[in-house]
């Protein structure tokens, strides 16, 4: 029987970890993810789980230890934020290329400089091309649900890739919201036991992990890794369908909020989607045909599905909570416009940068963006393609 509770996003992740009871958790603390290992270590100390908790000397070490434990056959996870993820950079690539289906609870925080501890997506977007699956949450319920789905996705025989479950630092990680929790046995049965086919501590079948690959083999390994990421798309959808059966909550690549008849759509990720939905409700009450497409899965990138979802509207605002420093826009701006072009969906698309380092993103900002799109379409007004929202004058 599901039960209602009130939890922060970090508490929700820690509770999901308790219910899953993974084998190993190496970790090094960093704001705003520190609460997750703190809470898990309390569960361990109280005898509620038997996870092996390994305190290490850095985030690089935590990911190294996670890879080693996963290679040995243990279900493994860690948690981090911001510069901690950046310090893991080399190991992120190794985890993916060595096909280790470990999980990472990432609490999004901006990267330096200047030094700042608040939310944007600089850290996870910096790791977008490391070969990891990336799933984002709007609220505390979603981060709980996403983490429970993480291992069934990552450990699937057609995938075997690491997975990053992302939530917005402080905005969801420390804010307390109503949440619905499932029973421990329901979660445990859904996730199942980890039974890898190949692992280092199998004396009957010696194997090597991370060998040197000469040029005749390395490219094929990369292609197989890419195929696994493509396979993850169907697995994510199938796991979402199975999860809906036990939770009543539906998950796919994205959520379409009042988009079916929308002339203008805002495409956005993370907690700011709630702000966008609130604005859409108010504008709908005024007769404006607007909607929100909240992207949940960024890797693998659902290009065809996004293009199809946007094909009915007149214009889209693509919202990036990250600066890509390419002089042309953010990561979402680049990938969504490429998806539209390749799928021959020729609508107006404007890329906006918002919420960097915790800058507020308001309902009024959303009003202004939709008004700008409408003016561009109806009056032919030229819109600045790559602009920051909420800059101080």
**For every residue of the chain, which 3-state class applies, written as one string?**
CCEEEEEEHHHHHHHHHHHHCCCEEEECCCCCCCHHHHHHHHHHHCCCCCCEEEECCCHHHHHHHHHHHHHCCCCEEEEECHHHHHHCHHHHHHHHHCCCCCEEEEEECCCCCCCCCCCCCHHHHHCCCCCCEEEECCCHHHHHHHHHHHHHHHCCCCCCCCEEEEEECCCCCCCEEEEEECCHHHHHHHHCCCCCCCCCCCCCCCCCCCCCCCHHHHHHHHHHHHHHHHHHHHHHHHHHHHHHHHHCCCCCCEEEECCCCCCEEEEEECCHHHHHHHHHHHHHHCCCCEEEEEECEEECCCHHHHHHHHCCCCEEEEEECCCCCCCCCCHHHHHHHHHHHHCCCCCEEEEEECCHHHCCCCHHHHHHHHHHHHHHHHHCCCCCCEEECCCCC
Please report, for the chain, the start and end positions of each structural domain, with discontinuous segments joined by +.
3-247, 254-388
Over residues 363-379, the pLDDT tens digits come to 999 999 999 999 999 99
Fold entry, domain 3-247: Rossmann fold (3.40.50)
pTM: 0.97
Q: What pLDDT was estimated at residue 84? A: 98
Q: Tell me the pLDDT of the chain (393 aa) as tens digits.
A: 789 999 999 999 999 999 999 999 999 999 999 999 999 999 999 999 999 999 999 999 999 999 999 999 999 999 999 999 999 999 999 999 999 999 999 999 999 889 999 999 999 999 999 999 999 999 999 999 999 999 999 999 999 999 999 999 999 999 999 999 999 999 999 999 999 999 999 888 888 888 899 999 999 999 999 999 999 999 999 999 999 999 999 999 999 999 999 999 999 999 999 999 999 999 999 999 999 999 999 999 999 999 999 999 999 999 999 999 999 999 999 999 999 999 999 999 999 999 999 999 999 999 999 999 999 999 999 999 999 999 988
Look up the CATH number of domain 254-388: 3.40.50.920
Instruction: Answer whether 3-247 and 254-388 agree in fold.
Output: yes
């Amino acid at each position: 029987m599901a039960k209602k509770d009130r939890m922060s996003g970090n508490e929700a992740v820690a509770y999901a970890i308790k219910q899953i009871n993974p084998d190993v958790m190496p970790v090094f603390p960093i704001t705003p993810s520190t609460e997750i290992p703190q809470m898990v270590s309390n569960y361990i100390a109280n005898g509620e789980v038997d996870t092996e908790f390994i305190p290490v000397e850095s985030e690089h070490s935590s990911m190294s230890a996670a890879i080693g434990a996963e290679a040995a056959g243990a279900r493994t996870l860690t948690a981090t934020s911001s510069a901690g993820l950046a310090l893991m950079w080399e190991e992120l690539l190794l985890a993916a290329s060595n096909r280790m289906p470990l999980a990472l609870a990432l609490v999004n925080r901006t990267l330096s400089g200047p030094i700042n501890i608040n939310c944007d997506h600089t850290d996870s977007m910096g790791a977008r091309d490391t070969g990891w699956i990336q799933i984002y949450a709007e609220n505390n319920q979603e981060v709980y649900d996403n983490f429970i789905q993480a291992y069934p996705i990552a450990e699937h025989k057609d995938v075997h890739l690491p997975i990053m479950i992302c939530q917005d630092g402080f905005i969801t990680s420390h804010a307390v919201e109503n949440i619905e929790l499932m029973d421990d046995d329901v979660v445990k049965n859904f996730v199942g036991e980890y039974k890898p086919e190949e692992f280092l501590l199998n004396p009957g079948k010696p194997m090597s992990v991370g060998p040197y690959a000469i040029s005749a083999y390395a490219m094929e390994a990369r292609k197989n890794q890419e195929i696994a990421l493509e396979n993850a798309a169907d697995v994510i959808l199938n796991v979402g369908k199975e999860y809906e059966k036990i939770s009543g909550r539906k998950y796919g690549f994205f959520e379409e909020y009042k988009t079916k008849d929308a002339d203008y759509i805002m495409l956005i990720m993370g907690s700011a989607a709630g702000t966008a939905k609130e604005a859409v409700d108010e504008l709908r009450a005024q007769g404006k045909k607007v909607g929100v497409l909240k992207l949940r899965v960024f890797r693998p990138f659902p290009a065809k599905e996004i293009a199809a979802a946007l094909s009915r509207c007149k214009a889209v605002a693509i919202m990036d909570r990250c600066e890509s420093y390419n002089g042309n826009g953010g990561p979402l701006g680049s990938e969504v416009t490429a998806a539209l072009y390749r799928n021959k969906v020729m609508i107006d698309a404007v890329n906006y940068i918002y919420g960097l380092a915790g800058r507020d993103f308001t309902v009024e900002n959303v009003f202004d963006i939709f008004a700008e799109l409408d003016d561009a379409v109806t009056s032919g007004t030229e819109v600045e393609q790559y602009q920051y929202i909420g800059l101080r004058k």
